[in-house]
Structure 1
């Protein structure tokens, strides 16, 4: 067989070219396919401070709010240890976290009088870092967290012209430096400050207090003295808000946090022949609609027609009233529950939804009005308030600064999608490189196939040639 050295060398070059092209394509395709990373942009929505919910107007004149005639207070209210968390574990396995150190100045020596009626203790939620205020620096430097309990009234409220109680506020320095924390709060109509030390009226139901110098990690509580007017129940539901602001020397900006509180009235005014009970409303982290359960009882001796009316704060509604219920307006829903037998009870469940802003303002308060109208005798009516909570109020969005890196890394990370729906520059470059690699592989395969065909054709012609004679 006549095989020339030149053709043998050309076949070796084509094979080598094919091997290099295949290796190049296999090595670079995975890298180019991942050359266009996606960047997740987190948006931080600052929590708006809750406003005064619209209460039901009554015939009585609301109490006169004190005017801000004195200069801003320079001293903070007295403080004490934070309330203990409700942990039912009988044998704790770690150090107790219910008695952290109080603020640096003033020392936690003064406490509220023992005669005041405190609301029931609740579990303090875990601290949440707060988003920086306007012009603030990195969120890890400054941080503050506030949590509140509700203003809960007992049955004794119905026998007094007004009632003085307390609102417990727990403050935590969640930053990394010593901070000066200032407190302010808003009371709804029918409630006034009963002389909280270190706080002064600012008008419009607003009260401002002095500041606490606190070290990083300090957690303490204070009691705000509140006077509830005897006719405030006519305006239920009632809610308020507490705000804290933290600043530190040498650190720009401030950190802020806020939380609402509910004013909870017992069923009343007391009247025989009727009972009323309403459970709370709780929204989970998804913000989906929840349910409100109400029980209306007829404790009289004659059957009576029953009616339940629900009053909700701003942003909270009944999206789809069940059968027998009708929306009077956005805040009020009335339900006819039919005949309530003597000594019997009827139950009603209403779906309740809330806007994202209303959930951030929680805890809030709603009101329920129950009425029974017997066939003989006078109609009887009770009303009470219930609590509205939301998991969204326990989490504050935090803006995370972009990580430092080289200009090339930052440019690639900052490249967002084309507003018109096309590809970014990084994605276009990756597509071009992938196309070029595929073309090189195809070209190498075509060259190898052509060379192989030529070689086979030459071998066939050589086989058909007659053997030379001797």
Structure 2
């Protein structure tokens, strides 16, 4: 009898298992990375819809800004009046070789509901050099050309000698805003005043508590640059709390563009030497940190304008994040923010100069400009001791070159609202994440099934007879 060869049948079965195994593995490998990367993106989009972005004051902002605020929104509906921006003499960014586009920057037309301010003069559109753009990254799904961007710069509140003869003094804080994006934006302003300063009735702004003030929004076209004047009242006793610094923040959004862009900058309150007293003079240089952030130097000059020699002493008070890392000889650190230096005898009609190294954290440099304070004291051998104090300015190149933007749900400068991404209010998985997990589990099961089928086929093949038994002959 002829032999029956069953090997072709087994080869066919093996081929089918191999094809099934290859298809399952390919499907799992192709599907897993896509689901793994797509799920967080979809989850972020879902969270962004559930938790809309917030403005610098912490209030919710819709992707399409409303014309009128809600009943619980303390933001005024009117924007502060605008004035011509100051001319830019130097490029604020650390890349001076980058050409800056010249665009006409005139006043921003207020919304239809805004009454024209009587204090704002008519503004001819001066031709100014727009600063290098600092746009934020576009939100998820936003087209590349529709980038949001905003930049704010401030001037200090500088007081004159007349401050010492007044119960309180009204000063002006100039805030300059630039739309560095590529679309028309709604730009909102908020600012924080330090202790001893109150708002003196800035049009379009309202107090929100804790020194915080919110203002209405401007409609600004791409490249628009304008200034607003914030009126502040400085109390006659505010000098006792120096150094004093505040902060200004702006937020930009646009209809049809997801997320928002933000920027902020600090300002210093600078007091003249005083209260006035004869027999002593005091002067302090400003502190400036370059783009490297390395330690800088503070120079303080103490003069004895009396007729007798006197022992001199200088104390330096610094804001949070700014310190004197290594006090020079004759100086001692009383606290991280306060350093005292005994300068010895200051001859009548003479002066001494003390130079101290000053360093600042990256966060403090980003918050610049800041203010520090110097207290000078001379104690003559005969007569009463005399004391003066004044404030000085602390600037940093990092504050002018680093954009601070918080678009949502996309990211810029590493600032993302990632704390709540991917989780629901109860702390569990969202529906999108649960769907992604189910798909991943199904893919893994398919791969496991293919492996089981392949293993079973191999076992059957190995358990069968190596050669089929010969058929009995007649």
Provide the TM-score with structure 1 as the length reference.
0.64
Whole-angstrom distance in 1 between the partners of 2:280 and 2:196: 26
Residue in structure 1 matched with residue 189 of structure 2 by the alignment: 183
Alignment of 1:236 onto 2:242: yes
- Match among 323, 330, 334 for residue 340 of structure 2: 334
CA 1:135/1:221 → structure 2, altered by over 3 Å: closer, same or farther? farther
Contact 1:80 1:108 in 2 (8 A): no
Structure 1 residue aligned with 2:77, among 46, 70, 74? Answer: 74
2:147, 2:133 → 1: CA distance? 14
Identify the range of structure 1 (132-141 vs 245-254) with the bigger mean alpha-carbon deviation.
132-141
What is the rounded CA distance, in whole Å, between the counterparts of 1:256 and 1:368 in structure 2? 34
Is residue 2:224 matched to residue 1:218? yes
Give the drift of 1:126. Answer: 3.1
Alignment check: 8 A CA contact 1:132 1:256 kept: no
Instruction: Please name the residue that 2:327 is paired with.
Output: 321
Report the Cα offset of residue 395 of structure 1: 1.5
The answer for the alignment partner of 1:84 in structure 2 is: 87
- Whether 1:126 aligns to 2:118 is no
Superposed, 1:287-306 pairs within 5 Å as 287-306=293-312
- Two-structure CA RMSD over aligned residues (Å): 3.1
Distance 2:234 2:400 in 1: 27
Match of 1:102 among 98, 101, 107: 107
The alpha-carbon deviation at position 105 of structure 1 amounts to 2.4
Q: After superposition, give the CA deviation of every residue in 1:31-59 in whole Å (9 maximum; x if it has no partner).
A: xxxxxxxxxxxxxxxxxx89xxxxxxxxx
Instruction: Summarize the alignment of residues 275-424 of structure 1 with structure 2, pairs less than 5 Å apart.
Output: 275-396=281-402
1:68-106: per-residue Cα shift (whole Å, max 9, x none)?
A: 99943000000011012347xxxxxx9996962221325
Mapped to 1, the partners of 2:188 and 2:104 lie a distance apart of: 22
CA deviations over 1:212-251 (Å, ceiling 9, x no partner): 0111110000000000000000000000000000000000
- CA deviation vs aligned residue, 1:395-429 (integer Å, no higher than 9, x gap): 2258679xxxxxxxxxxxxxxxxxxxxxxxxxxxx
Q: What is the SS of the residue equivalent to 1:393?
A: helix
SS at match of 1:227: strand
CA distance in 1, matches of 2:306, 2:213: 46
Using a 3 Å threshold, how does the CA distance of structure 1 residues 178 and 258 change in structure 2: closer, same or farther? same
Q: Quick one: distance in 2 between partners of 1:132 and 1:233?
A: 42
1:147 aligns with 2:143: no
In 2 relative to 1, CA 348–383 (structure 1 residues): closer, same or farther, beyond 3 Å? same
Unpaired segments ≥5 residues, structure 1: 1-48, 51-67, 88-93, 115-122, 402-470
Q: Verify the 8 A CA contact 2:74 2:214 in the aligned structure 1.
A: no
Aligned equivalents of 2:118, 2:364: Cα separation in 1: 33
| 1:84–1:99 CA contact under 8 A, matched in 2 | no
Aligned to 1:189, the other structure's residue is in SS state coil
Structure-2 separation of matches of 1:139 and 1:374: 69
The answer to whether the 8 A contact 2:279-2:386 is kept is yes
SS in 1 for 2:134: coil
CA distance in 2, matches of 1:173, 1:136: 22
TM-score by length of 2: 0.63
Return the match for 2:170 from 159, 164, 172.
Answer: 164
Give the Å deviation of 1:330: 0.5
How far is 1:131 from its partner?
A: 3.2
CA 1:128–1:380: 2 relative to 1, 3 Å = farther
Q: Secondary structure at the match of 1:378?
A: coil
